[in-house]
Each structure stands twice: as C-alpha cells, then as structure tokens.
Amino acid sequence: HLSNLRGLKSGTLRISCATTAKYFIPHLLGPFCKQYPGIDIQFTVANRQQVIERYEQGVDDFFVFSYVPEGLDLEVREFMSNDLVAIANSEHPLTKHKKVSLKAFCQENFIIREEGSGTRYAIERFLQSKNITPNVRMTIASNEAIIHSVLSGMGVSILSAHTLAFGDSYNVKVIDVESLPIQSKWSFCWAKSKQLSPIAKVFLDYVANEGKDLMTKVLKL
C-alpha cells in the first residue's frame, strides 16, 4: 500500500465535464488533493460538444455526464442522482399553489438550456413521454444565466437541483410540480480503449468510497 502511495507522489489527473457537473466535482477534488498533495489536477468545464471532442483527442482520464452521449465507446460508472426540479421567482403566482400540474407549469414562459445540453435532453425526453410541449420562450446556454432570468421574472425553468446549492440561487423557489423532479444520474466515464493510469484508479476508488458522504455534506442531499 505504501509503495502504491509513493508511486502517486506526482502526476496529473485530468477530468472534463459538461457544465452542470461543475457544482460538485470541485468538492470531490478538494479533499482528494489534500490526501494526495503531489497530484496536479486539470479540470475542464466545457459544453458537451467540446467534451466529446476531448474524448476523441484522448487527453482526459474521466468525463462526467448525466446524459451519456450515445455512440462513444465508454466505460460508465454511475455516481449519484441528479434531480431536475421546477423553478420560479419567489413572487411568481405559482408559488402560492401547493401542487401545480405539469401542463400548467409548462404553459408558463419556459426558459430552456441550449441544444446539446444533457439537462435539455432529459427535459425533452420526459415531456415527450407525457405528451406535453413546453411554451419555450428563451434558450440560454448557461445555468447561471437561466437562474438570473428566472429571478428577473422572465419565466420558469427546470434545472438540476445541484445548480441551486450555492450563491446565485437565493430567492429562486422550487415549485412542487406533478411528476417532478425528473430523475437522472451522474456518471463517471472513461474510454474503453484507454487504460486507466494509477492515479485515475486511485481517484475512482476514492470516489466510490468517499464520494457519496462528501456530496451529502456539501449539497445537502
């Protein structure tokens, strides 16, 4: 075991993720770096297309997705749930209701993530299964900008609950909408063709052993 650790004194762990994972990955990396101070981290937050390009270049040890892209030769390890919740500004009339029908919620001015976003994909697939077309008025390629647009009273949205765990989300209200939250999952993925480096293996074990507890503390799951 000790010799293992010695071998890990230096090196780089490379992770890239689509934007919504950026809220929790740093909270895994912080304690990991304390345990292994010699390991450098290269953490890329990009849009899904760029993450897929990085997969093609073979530079990263891990990719983090909730909607794992189809057609890539990936090993997939599920990590934790990713609930997508309905949000509105705290003054929105819907906040007065105890329970809102999915149809009524989707008739509000709806703000949605950009084409290619995993969050958007999950929402579209879910609403299609319910035969509901949302009243999309605005497409925004950023969770934070969606939160600010909701705060400004521009409309409602459905986002990962993890986007609400910090800062900007003050005054955003989660609305109790029928059939929600939409349940998806975060996964760590790596290319099947690529052998995991010793550092990557240690990180994977660390995530399996300590990841859940850390997330419970940080995200108040």
Binding site for ligand PGA (CB under 6 A): 18-20, 48, 65-67, 113, 117-119
What is the closest distance, in whole angstroms, from the C-beta atom of residue 155 to ligand PGA in the complex? 18
Rounded to the nearest whole angstrom, what is the least distance from the CB of residue 66 to ligand PGA in the complex? 4
Taking the complex as a whole, the smallest distance from the CB of residue 55 to ligand PGA amounts, in Å, to: 12
Residue placing its CB nearer to ligand PGA in the complex, 113 or 173: 113
Residue nearest to ligand PGA (CB): 118
Task: Give whichever of 92 and 185 is closer to ligand PGA, judged by the CB atom.
Answer: 185
By C-beta, is 40 or 78 nearer to ligand PGA? 78
Residue 16 or 39: the one with the smaller Cβ distance to ligand PGA is: 16
The least distance separating ligand PGA from the CB of residue 98, rounded to whole angstroms, comes to 29
CB 19 within 8 A of CB 47: yes
Give min distance, CB of 161 to ligand PGA, in A: 13
Residue number with CB closer to ligand PGA (159 or 199): 159
Please compute, for residue 119, the number of CA atoms within 13 A of its CA located in the half-sphere on the CB side: 28
